[in-house]
Amino acid sequence: MQTDRQTPEAHRSVADAPADNWVDRYAPPAWRPWLRLSRADRPIGTWLLLLPCWWGVGLAMIVDRPVWFDLWIAIACALGAILMRGAGCTWNDITDRDFDARVSRTRSRPIPSGQVTVRGAYLWLVAQCLAGFVILITLGPAAIWLGVASLALVAIYPFAKRFTWWPQVFLGLAFNWGVLLAYAAHMGGLGLAPVLAYLAGIAWTIFYDTIYAHQDAEDDALIGVKSTARLFGSDSKRWITRFGLAATVILLLAVLAAGPSTLALVPGVFAVLGFAAHLAWQLRRFDPADSAGCLRLFRANRDAGLIVALFLAFAGLV
């Protein structure tokens, strides 16, 4: 794979990457464009893809019982999240390369800045998908079929902002699929609890990605890209409050549907309460006009999801 070494921006960081990210500090220079293409310099997306997977493992442990294979499911989900989030971002940047070149926050990404060619990006996409499939086949038939089915959602998402004001729904459908996959990896099938958790995750994604989309609302309006941030406008805080409440209520129903024992119910409820408290904290600080603040709040959702994952894991173990 070759990068465009003639481009002045070829070795510059992506604009919205953390200043101290590990890719720019430690990765070999030849690998940096490819890791940036996979958003390895911005790990929050990997976390937001991984955490619903861990929700699924926790729910399965509550419904059934923990087994040693659950440890591999958790590790496989982490590896798979890195690879498939990278593949999804690569596909997104391939399809959005013309839009990205016209938006100030995204024109420094590897393809529009010339760090990576489109042909090279396609090869990188295939390599990541193949590596992800190798991990997927260790998780059993039900998980394999669910993993393959998720590719349709991943393929559609980058185009959603062209035909709907609700692209965040499509992101939620794709990003929370892991709760179904991880649950099925343990149980060999699905049930009401993971389906409810999946719906809660979709509402949560609309919550956090609307906050994120406010960074680009003005540029999106100029180039004709749709988003819930543009749709909600000045009423965004009211709308995301509704989605935050929906996520909390449905997540509580998911915990109850898992049928926990009295002892396990306590950490399950604490998972929901901690999640709700974190969303409320974000709402108090949300200012759609503050782009830097929106990015900080978006990244903080790692902690919101991690609260749920840790308490569900504890509930499954007691």
**pLDDT tens column, 174-187:** 999 999 999 999 99
Residue 297 lies in a domain: yes
pLDDT under 50: residue ranges of the chain: 1-10
The verdict on residue 203 lying in a domain is yes
Query: Residue 17 falls within a domain, yes or no?
Result: no
Domain assignment of residue 15, yes or no: no
What is the per-residue pLDDT for 92?
A: 86
Confirm if 146 and 180 have CB atoms less than 8 A apart. yes
Residue 10 lies in a domain: no
- Residue that has been written with the tokens 């409810």 in this structure: 196
Assigned domain for 259 exists: yes
CA–CA gap between residue 59 and residue 196 (Å, rounded): 11
- pLDDT value of position 122: 94
Q: What would the pLDDT profile of 115-156 be if each residue is shown by its tens digit?
A: 889 999 999 999 999 999 999 999 999 999 999 999 999 889
Using CA atoms, how far residue 134 sits from 73, 84, 175, in Å, is: 14, 12, 20
Q: What is the DSSP string of 67-106?
A: -THHHHHHHHHHHHHHHHHHHHHHHHHHHTHHHHTTSTTT
Residues 6+ positions from 18 with CB-CB distance below 8 Å:
41, 42
DSSP for 203-272?
Answer: HHHHHHHHHHHTTSHHHHHHHT---HHHHHGGGHHHHHHHHHHHHHHHHHHHHHHT---HHHHHHHHHHH
| CATH number (domain holding residue 230) | 1.10.357.140
**What's the whole-model pTM score?**
0.90
Does residue 14 fall inside a structural domain? no
- Counted domains in the chain: 1
Q: Has residue 4 been placed in a domain?
A: no
Q: What is the pLDDT of residue 41?
A: 84
Closest CA to 196 of 251, 143, 147, 269: 251
**Residue 12, pLDDT score:** 66
Question: What does the pLDDT read at residue 2?
Answer: 42
Enclosing domain of residue 218? 28-317
pLDDT of residue 104: 67
Within 10 A of 275 (CB to CB), how many other CB atoms are there? Answer: 24
